[in-house]
Amino acid sequence: MAGAAAASAEPAAQTAQRWIVPGEHAGERLDSVLAALLDGPSRSRVRTWIEAGRVRLNGRLPRPRDVVAAGDAIDVEAAAEPAHSADAPEAMQLAIVYEDAELLVLDKPAGLVVHPAAGHWSGTLLNGLLAFDPALAALPRAGIVHRLDADTTGLMVVARTLRAQADLVRQLQARTVTREYWALVFGAAPLAGRVDAALARDPRNPLRFKTSRAAGAREAVTHFRRIDHVDLEPLKVSWLACRLETGRTHQIRVHLESIGHPLVGDPVYRRGRPALRTDDARVALLAGFARQALHACALRLEHPASGRSMGWFRAPPADLRGLAKALGFKGMGRPIKVFE
């Protein structure tokens, strides 16, 4: 699932990125906090930046173990990593839904990684954005303010100016950006629900997150409504609409698994998934669906320059629509008002 840039992006200068420490990270080590705020680089890589003098805490050169307080300003110099010259333009087809001088809205396909990271130093959305608009190289993360997991599809907004980036991050923090997702999950889910469970990385598996009450766990809240469900005796499948209050990594996937309704096709979060042994062709389609059945279908925000409320809808791609149709769900090609 989708993750947001969780701290206030307040540019110190065109060559640096500034993050304001939110209250939830007060009292933690600088290297740990910065790794969490950047939501990409490892803690060890962040330490090398600090030791190389590329990070300043409230204007001074800090140590990795220095403790931060709410409201502290962390400035990170925008310098390329040795292997990170991978942040280079790469031409690719981008499904642009909307664009103007301040922002882009795009429909991300399955399989596209958003940021360069270990194992994906090229071919990412960031690389494609730099080719689409070279001016984005002047912005932190090429203007990306939130992300979707590689195999989650759907709508993302990208800033084209520093002003727009700071304002979009502010809106994400204020939880005024509406992000709606459609998901196919196992089981007959409740008609409606709210999952309020903090998330932390699973110490037994670095690829997973889990619900946690540990001190370092990050607040996460997901609302869901059931649009429809089908009974494929002996198993059931539900079509859910989900809205996020927060945007943590894998949030929807973890939250729905935690209440016993894992996503169809999810290769990581499978607890509670029923045995898929039957001669029913529809169940065979479920067993063969090769990615999490999750799509960011709707996005609404205030335009950073005009303040005008704007919204977009994109139907799921053909693979997910085809699965839904085969299972007996109708209407996945058009907007459905579930929460209003």
Structure-block tokens of residue 269: 């979060």
Residue 132, exposed/middle/buried by CB under 10 A (0-12, 13-18, 19+)? buried
Rounded to whole angstroms, the Cα distance separating 39 from 265 reads 25
Instruction: Determine which one of 107, 149, 167, 266 is catalytic.
Output: 149
Provide the residue type at 216 as one letter: G
Residues in the chain: 340
Is residue 140 within 8 A of residue 191, CB to CB? The reply is no
As a whole number of angstroms, the distance between CA 287 and CA 265 comes to 7
Query: Is 107 considered catalytic here?
Result: no
Q: What are phi and psi of 178, to 5 degrees?
A: -95, 120
CB distance 250 to 292 below 8 Å: no
- Count of other CB atoms within 10 angstroms of residue 297: 24
DSSP code, position 218: B
Q: Which residues are catalytic?
A: 149
